[in-house]
Chains A and B, each alone.
Chain A
């Protein structure tokens, strides 16, 4: 390439670096996918060869990343409007929509095929459905149509432990469905707590958010209702084959804290919230992160104890 052509291409769009393609995969979301899928895989009653397990988690993460890239391809118009997302590779002009689509589709197909070859068809099918659900059902169809978009989007984020479990067992079980339900019910109160204190420009982008469409009072009520519905799911997991006394203790502790936080949010109005700079809402949002990390971490501890021959409830004589 001549210097003249370098200058010409530079004046058009800055060329993408490796980091820009990596950013398309939404690496922060990927960490949650990796962690919950790993817990699903290790909590399963079937031992997995370490290399097969590593490959399974990697391809689940790549599949999650592919969903992120395809989501950015579809949402590039609204990403350009919102301050938070304006710096992403497509709206910033470093990657074209076509490149992002090709990148996302390639990774989506590759991750599903490779997961199928490394583990089994059930895991591959679930991963394919997760990608389809996030890209088509959530991003293309429901995100811009209903204020319940967070609830539906949460389902896509809830699939990884089920995929991890299926990678180990080749099946779907009550335990994996409950892990799905745990993340599914946790996502709305987690996100709506954030929506209450974050000034968002979703409205200008034409994305209906509950705080705008139904108001902040309704959002506070929704947080309380979803936290109430989440609690039996969180506690119920303790009495399945992957639970145990440690998980139950952690679940009771964090559920009590989360319920107290949701109750406090429900009792407050905007005047009270503004007076203390949305202190309670911020605390509940932060706590919701510890909640999910704590509960899945406890499942991991229970799985480690079972591997060491200390079986969950049998330890306490049940």
Chain B
């Protein structure tokens, strides 16, 4: 089977796609971390709890 050496253009594209993938993965991890940080704060209440407090 003949595996040809990847062209320089393909290498560059791979680098770009890999970089973008890592950036997007990092963004997902950051948003997840932010969510955990926000819901862990003392003053945090779920929306239905806020609504319940208004109805009381």
- A residues sitting closer than 8 Å to B (CB atoms) are 3, 6, 9-10, 15-18, 21, 49, 51-52, 54-55, 58, 117-118
CB of A18 within 8 A of CB of B7, answer: no
Q: A15 and B36: CB pair below 8 A?
A: no
What is the minimal beta-carbon distance from A254 to any residue of chain B, in angstroms? 36
**Interchain CB contact under 8 A, B9 and A55:** no
Hey, which chain B residues are within 8 Å of A117, CB to CB? 34
Residues from chain A with a CB closer than 8 A to the CB of B38 are: 52
Cβ-defined partner of B41 (8 Å) among A17, A21, A49, A118: A49
Cα–Cα, bound, A291→B18 (Å): 39
Q: How far is the CB of A7 from chain B (nearest CB, A)?
A: 9
Count the B residues whose beta carbon is within 8 Å of the partner chain — how many?
16
Query: DSSP majority for the A interface?
Result: helix
When chains A and B are docked, how far (Å) is the Cα of A107 from the Cα of B34?
Answer: 19
Q: Are A6 and B34 in contact (CB under 8 A)?
A: no
* Residues of chain B having any CB pair with chain A under 8 Å: 7, 9, 12-13, 15-16, 18-20, 30, 33-34, 36-38, 41
Contacts of B9 in A (CB 8 A): 6, 9-10, 15
CA distance A125 to B7 in the complex (A): 46
With A18-B19, A18-B20 as known contacts, state yes or no: A52 contacts B12, CB within 8 Å.
Answer: no
Chain B residues closer than 8 Å to A49, beta-carbon distance: 37, 41
Distance of A85 Cα from B36 Cα, bound (Å): 43
A18 to B41, CA, bound (A): 37
Q: With a CB–CB cut-off of 8 A, which chain A residues contact B36?
A: 51
Q: Are B7 and A51 in contact (CB under 8 A)?
A: no
CA distance in complex: A18, B21 (Å): 11
Other-chain contact of B34, A16, A17, A51 (Cβ < 8 Å): A51
Question: Is A17 a contact partner of B30 (Cβ separation < 8 A)?
Answer: no
Q: Are A6 and B12 in contact (CB under 8 A)?
A: no
**Complex formed: what's the CA distance from A52 to B19 in Å?**
24
Whole-angstrom distance between the Cβ of B44 and the nearest chain A Cβ: 11
Most buried by B among A9, A15, A117: A15
A selection of 11 A-B contacts at a CB cut-off of 8 Å is A3-B7, A6-B9, A10-B9, A15-B9, A18-B19, A49-B41, A51-B30, A51-B33, A51-B36, A54-B30, A117-B34
A6-B9, A10-B9, A15-B9 known; A51 and B16 CB under 8 Å? no
